[in-house]
A = this chain, B = another copy of it.
Amino acid sequence: MPFRFELLHEDKAGPRAGRIITDHGVVETPAFMPVGTQGAVKTLSSADLESMGATIVLANTYHLYLRPGEKLVAEAGGIRRFMSWNGPVLTDSGGYQVFSLADLRRLSGEGVEFQSHLDGSKHMLTPERVVEIQLSIGSDIMMVLDQCTSYPCGRSEAKTAVDRTTLWAERSIAGRGARIIKDDYERVLFGIVQGSVYPDLRERSARELVGLDFPGYAIGGLCVGEPKADTMSIVERTAACLPSDKPRYLMGVGFPEDIVEAVARGIDLFDCVVPTRNSRNGTVYTSRGKLVIKNAAYARDWGPIDPDCRCETCRRYSRSYVRHLFNVSEMSGPRLATYHSLYFYLHLLSEMRQVIREGSFREWRKEFYKKYRLS
Contact surface of A with B, Cβ cutoff 8 Å = 38-40, 42-47, 63, 67-68, 72, 75-76, 82-84, 299-300, 302, 312, 316-318, 320-321, 324-325, 327-328, 330-332, 334-336
Query: Cβ of B38 and Cβ of A331 under 8 Å apart?
Result: no
Q: A82 and B40 in contact (CB under 8 A), knowing A45-B332, A302-B76, A335-B331?
A: no
Q: Which of B42, B43, B76, B328 interacts with A320 by CB under 8 Å?
A: B76
**Complex contacts, A75 vs chain B, CB 8 Å:** 300
- Pair B330/A38 contact, Cβ less than 8 Å: yes
With both chains docked as a complex, state the minimum distance between the C-beta of A281 and any C-beta of chain B, in angstroms.
13
Chain B positions within 8 Å of A40 at CB level: 325, 330, 332
Q: Is there contact, CB below 8 Å, between A324 and B39? A: yes
Listed from nearest, the 10 A-B pairs whose CB atoms lie closest are A38-B328, A84-B316, A43-B331, A40-B330, A68-B324, A40-B332, A67-B328, A331-B331, A45-B332, A84-B317
With A76-B302, A84-B317 as contacts: A44 and B328 at CB distance below 8 Å: no
Known: A40-B325, A331-B331. A299 touches B45 (CB 8 A): no
Residue picked from A42, A68, A325, most chain B C-beta under 10 Å: A68
Residues of B within 8 A of A300 (CB): 72, 75
How long is the Cα–Cα vector from A67 to B316 in the complex, in angstroms? 21
Residues on B with C-beta less than 8 A from A325 are 38, 40
CA distance A320 to B67 in the complex (A): 12
CB of A331 within 8 A of CB of B334, answer: yes
Asked, given contacts A84-B316, A321-B76, A324-B68, whether A332 binds B299 with beta carbons under 8 Å apart, the answer is: no
Q: For the complex, what is the distance from the CA of A76 to the CA of B334, rounded to whole Å?
A: 21
Give chain B nearest CB distance to A71 CB in angstroms: 10
Number of copies: 2
Tell me whether B302 and A72 are in contact (CB under 8 A).
no
> Residues of B contacting A331 with CB < 8 Å?
42-43, 331, 334-335
| Cβ contact within 8 Å between A320 and B38 | no
- Assembly CA distance A332 to B339 (angstroms): 13
Given contact pairs A39-B321, A316-B84, A324-B39, A44 touches B332 in the complex (Cβ within 8 A): yes
Cβ B320 vs Cβ A72 within 8 A:
yes
> In angstroms, how far is the closest chain B Cβ from the Cβ of A275?
16
A-B contact pairs, 5 of them (CB 8 A): A38-B325, A42-B332, A43-B335, A45-B317, A67-B324
Enumerate chain B residues within 8 angstroms of A45, measured Cβ to Cβ.
312, 316-317, 332, 335-336
Report A97 CB to chain B, min CB distance, Å. Answer: 14
Q: In the complex, which residues of chain B have a beta carbon less than 8 angstroms from the beta carbon of A330? A: 38, 40, 42
Taking CB atoms, residues of chain B closer than 8 Å to A68 are: 299, 320, 324, 327
Complex Cα gap A46–B320 (Å): 15
**A47 contacts which of B63, B67, B312, B324 (Cβ < 8 Å)?**
B312
In the complex, A334 Cα to B320 Cα: how many Å?
25
A4 nearest CB across to chain B (Å): 30
Neighbouring B residues of A72 by C-beta, 8 Å = 299-300, 320
Q: For residue A63, which residue of chain B has the nearest CB?
A: B328
Q: How far is the CB of A40 from chain B (nearest CB, A)?
A: 5
Question: Residues of B contacting A312 with CB < 8 Å?
Answer: 45, 47
> Which residues of chain B have C-beta atoms less than 8 A from A38's C-beta?
324-325, 328, 330
Question: Does the CB pair A316–B43 fall under 8 Å?
Answer: no
Q: How far is the CA of A192 from the CA of B39 in the complex (A)?
A: 48
